[in-house]
Amino acid sequence: MKSIFNKLQEKAKIAISNSRLNFSGNAFGKTVSLSGKDSENISKITNLMVDVIRRQRRLWRKEITDWQAARYAFYQSEIPKNYQMQEVYDDTLLDGHLTAVTEDRTLRTTNKNYIFTINGIKDDRLSEFIEDKEWFDMVLDEAHKSVYRGETFIFIKDFDKGNIREVELIDRGLHIPGQKILLSDINANSGIDVSEVNDVLLYAKFYNNIGILEKAAVYTILKRHSWGSWDEFEELFGVPIRIAKIASQSDAVKNEVANWLEEMGSAAYGVFPIGTEVEIKENSKTDAFNVFYMKIQALDKELSKLILHQTMTTENGSSRSQGEVHENTLEEVVKSDKKKMLSFLNKRLVPAMRMIGYKIPENAKITIEKTVDPKEQIKIDTELMGNGYVLKQQYVEQTYGVEVERMPSEDKPLKEKTATGKA
């Protein structure tokens, strides 16, 4: 079974007959192993250690300098690199508010019922290909995250003819920015052109090459600084300072009283020798914390504006009319995301499914199933029935989820039946 790199070298075309392909790891095309006889082979051991270290996720806290270095690596003209920016993004998404707003936007697009239709009519047989499929849910989720993280490649890792079993996200750090080239290693200077691979690699880009988190990273770093400063402020001024005054000049007595104060902790009492005076000094500047609190709030609002284009769906609104304006703004953002998602599914996924054996007609496409709000629909139906229209039993049962034993006869308008009490 050949690796994907060997297959890409064969004119970037992958045979469908090979149902399983391995596309993971950091050392493509290299067999690295150690045995007893290698215990003194310093070169081989060093190469293995370096390769392992390169693969480890860097967990230290990112600062503005890391963000600047990552942008420089991403935008350099000779050999642009993406892995530094993706590490900054991993750190950025530790922010709770940013996680909430990004998940909110993603779920509004992915948490829909995607179906296959032919000429606008749902096809149940084709829809079974994607309904309740774990791999399809992952494709939706990772494709939409390209809004935040930039260019995304999703690899159809395991499949039979006409049956996808598993998909895998290709590490975004292996992409050469702006080019459909994948590196074999994050430190490599050359890679493989995958622009012609359209059956097992799905390419998604819903925003731009680098993603919207490039702008969000600065806000989260500054916000973390404010949290840290607030924490230091709490340690210095949040707890009243206790000062013990003793008559003795003995260092031993001073140290003993200091230990008592330390062991006292948050207790409301303490036992001290006669002649010891304990003074408690409270912070008189009770509003000083607002410096940090207001800055954190301002940064959260900036993150909401950046991701959701408004703030009132995550913050308390001042009026209903303003809240409706903000909700409408978010709906426009989500509408755009849905259009991009459907374009990706029908231009990337559906052709790939056909290539690997799914029997999908050319006039079939993936759409979002329209759902009916019963509260709004009943107003429409009531108006229609009030004007003499008779609804079909099947429509009533499907729309409202109820079983109807019989429908009004069609020989009399509904208004007449209501007047006689026989409706």
Retrieve residue 277's tokens.
Answer: 């005076």
Q: Residue 22 has what pLDDT?
A: 39
Q: Residue 49 has what pLDDT?
A: 59
Q: Residue 41 has what pLDDT?
A: 67
- Residue with more model confidence, 311 or 263: 311
Half-sphere exposure of 86 (CA within 13 A, CB side): 19
pLDDT tens-digit readout, 26-78: 344 455 555 556 656 666 666 665 555 555 556 567 899 999 999 999 998 88
- Residue with more model confidence, 328 or 71: 71
CA-CA-CA-CA torsion sign (319, 321, 327, 333): negative
List the single range of 66-75, 169-178, 317-326 with lowest mean pLDDT. 317-326
CA dihedral 196, 201, 206, 208 (to 10 degrees): -60
Tell whether the model's pLDDT for residue 409 goes beyond 80: no
Q: Residue 272 has what pLDDT?
A: 66
List the single range of 4-18, 84-98, 176-190 with lowest mean pLDDT. 4-18
Tell whether the model's pLDDT for residue 267 goes beyond 70: no
Q: Residue 398 has what pLDDT?
A: 73
* Domain positions in the chain: 241-281, 374-420
List the single range of 6-10, 133-137, 292-296 with lowest mean pLDDT. 6-10
Provide the residue count of the chain: 423
CA–CA separation, 15 vs 29, rounded Å?
19
3-state secondary structure of 119: coil
Select the highest-mean-pLDDT range: 21-30, 230-239, 407-416: 230-239
CA–CA separation, 283 vs 267, rounded Å?
19
Tell whether the model's pLDDT for residue 176 goes beyond 70: yes
pTM: predicted TM-score of the whole model, two decimal places = 0.71
3-state secondary structure of 309: coil
Q: Residue 284 has what pLDDT?
A: 61
Q: Residue 285 has what pLDDT?
A: 59
CB 54 within 8 A of CB 28: no
pLDDT tens-digit readout, 70-113: 999 999 888 899 999 999 999 999 999 999 999 999 999 999 99
Residue 185 identity: D
List the single range of 227-241, 261-275, 291-305 with lowest mean pLDDT. 261-275
